[in-house]
Amino acid sequence: MADPEEEKGLESSTPSCVGTECAPKSSAVSAVSVNDPQSLNELKSEPIEEPEPDPIRKSSKERRLQYLRNGIDADCEVHVQSADPDADAQGGNVCYKKFRCHRLLLATASDKLEQDVYQNKKWNGVLQINGVSPEAVEIFLEFIYTFEVSTSKVELQLIGDIFILSCAYNMPEMLCSFADKVKDKDWPLDYIFPAYDLAFRHNIISLEQVCMTKILEHARELAIEPTLMNIQIYALNFVIQHWLAAKAIPTNEMVEILLKYQRENEINFSNTQQFPHFTKIINYFRNVLLDADGIISKYEEQ
């Protein structure tokens, strides 16, 4: 015989359906007959609405740039000397542009930066960078934060500063990225030869090829460009070779260029380091005569 207390417990745990019909919980499928294939097909073909992307969400790159530009939670600073045209009038005061940065991100960019900001026990929270422009340092920092060079900030005249920063902080990939972006920019004529000389000296092949393309395209204008006189003699050799092959400059004008280069750089018999290579360039032209000091004195065009 069952215990009255057990019977009472059983009664209380059993759902009461007295006077009502027990119906299953409603669901999306309950309105569709499982025996009706057409209804099932209509349910399957009904498009599922995907949630719209949050328009406020920023990419990782945008977030990092925001942290850099606004100095959010910054724990260190990068200082670079800013060009001040009124510095002399102000008694030689030096102005600095300051970037509020994050020590951990700087340290992970290269072993040199890690040494400067973490392993240097005397570090005071300020990384001082000298000898380059604030614009180049801004590109440098943005590359550290985003692994990209901003196209809007790329200018040919910054290539020298970017090279210095790449070498100083052991970040060659930044120079490669900058050189790749600068190809599509407008090239001021007075910066073409300095960029070419830099690429030639340090074997930056991609930049050197782009520079040579520009040198051939603008041969007539560049033949009288003063910066041509400042490139190293080995780079001049290749310029002359390409102009000769392309017949871009008349022969007599190229000899005049060589004479001017020789005088401005004091290349004569006594210059034992450069004169032997200069004679190799002269040998591209027949009937070039030198005077007693080794200076081009006469050229007879055939």
Q: pLDDT tens digit string along 245-300?
A: 999 999 999 999 999 999 999 999 999 999 999 999 999 998 888 888 889 887 66
Work out the mean pLDDT of the chain and round it to a whole number. Answer: 83
pLDDT at residue 224 above 50?
yes
Position 206: which residue type? S
Q: Which residues belong to CATH 3.30.710.10 in the chain?
A: 59-84+94-186
* pLDDT-based confidence at residue 25 (cuts at 50, 70, 90): very low
pLDDT at residue 99 above 60?
yes
User: Which of the residue ranges 191-195, 203-207, 289-293 has the most confident prediction, judged by mean pLDDT?
Assistant: 191-195
**Overall average pLDDT of the 49-53 stretch:** 59
Q: Which of 12-21, 38-47, 276-285 has the lowest mean pLDDT?
A: 12-21
- CATH code for the domain defined by 59-84+94-186: 3.30.710.10
pLDDT given at position 151 = 86
- Tens of pLDDT, residues 59-93: 999 999 999 999 999 999 999 988 655 544 455 56
| The pTM of the whole model exceeds 0.75 | no
Percent share of the chain, pLDDT over 70? 77
pLDDT at residue 4 above 80?
no
pLDDT at residue 27 above 80?
no
